[in-house]
Amino acid sequence: MIASRDIGRLLEIMAALRDPVSGCAWDVAQTFSTIAPYTLEEAHEVADAIARNDMVDLCDELGDLLLQVVFHARMAEEVGAFSFGDVVAAITAKMIRRHPHVFGPQAAPGATLAKGQWEAIKAEEKAAKSAAKRAEGRIEGGPESLLDDVPRALPGYLEATKLQARAARVGFDWPDVMPVLDKLEEEIAELRMAIAHEGADAIRAEFGDLSFAMMNLARHAMVDPEMALKAANAKFRRRFAAIEAALGAEGRAPDRATLAEMDAIWDAVKRAEKEKGA
């Protein structure tokens, strides 16, 4: 078997890898749940390549992410749930449905969706999906929540942001950023109290409340929390490397220096970065 630009070849390769007789033992042993962590990891590696503006890596990482889609689709096909073609059909139908200004009868060059039309289309899709799930017995009857279709498997920061944005649609939200800052200070005070007087469960709960408030702050301040934290991580890497370099020039390693000495170098690096506008 040789490489190809044709998606059909990738599907053939995955089918061969999953063959219970002649395939790869590791690939055959996998399930949706064992592969899911790799799917998340590959999505993060795509984002990392984009952040580094590395187009060579991005091409490679997109291939790895595509493989995850093919892997899941193959396992689903094996149990008669759906195939890769069904995945493609579903997303193409969704994109056509959500862009009537491009693909509909009234399409016009450069047109945009009317205000609120995107949300109206998604609301119709949600209602249709819920009705189908009830008809198939996949969900019980009863009132639905606006938050039901926010996936619980999302990373915590992203789930929090989506929950808050959904609630904001019906007016359950702070009017601006200042009350969020007040809420943040309240949560910090409660965390201090938990650390001083309560046990691990209370500390964990208050830390969760503080984290949730931080996501609210990021949303109101229009900051991407993941990008902001990644930037802070990069800053920490850079400044700690400067500490290592400064101590190395003296023939020492960080474990041979005092905290005060390392803090002094850190502060000097920080001042230098501010002067350069870093």
Instruction: Tell me the pLDDT tens digit for each residue of 221-233.
Output: 999 998 899 889 9
- Checking if the pLDDT of 239 tops 70, the result is yes
Which residue intervals of the chain bear CATH 1.10.287.1080? 7-97, 156-220
Question: Which pLDDT score is estimated for 141?
Answer: 53
Domain 7-97 has CATH 1.10.287.1080: yes
pTM greater than 0.85: no
With a pLDDT cut of 90, the percent of the chain lying above it is 67
Longest dimension (CA), the chain: 73
Banded pLDDT at 195 (limits 50, 70, 90) = very high
Question: Which pLDDT score is estimated for 213?
Answer: 96
Residue recorded with tokens 């078997």: 1
Residue recorded with tokens 């491009």: 102
Banded pLDDT at 105 (limits 50, 70, 90) = confident
| pLDDT tens, residue by residue, 5-64 | 899 999 999 999 999 999 999 999 999 999 998 998 999 899 889 988 999 999 999 999
17, 23 Cβ separation under 8 angstroms: yes
Residues 6+ apart with CB under 8 A from 218: 161, 224, 225, 228
Question: Which pLDDT score is estimated for 278?
Answer: 57
Domain 156-220 has CATH 1.10.287.1080: yes
30-44, 54-68, 98-112, 135-149: range with lowest mean pLDDT: 135-149
44, 15 Cβ separation under 8 angstroms: no
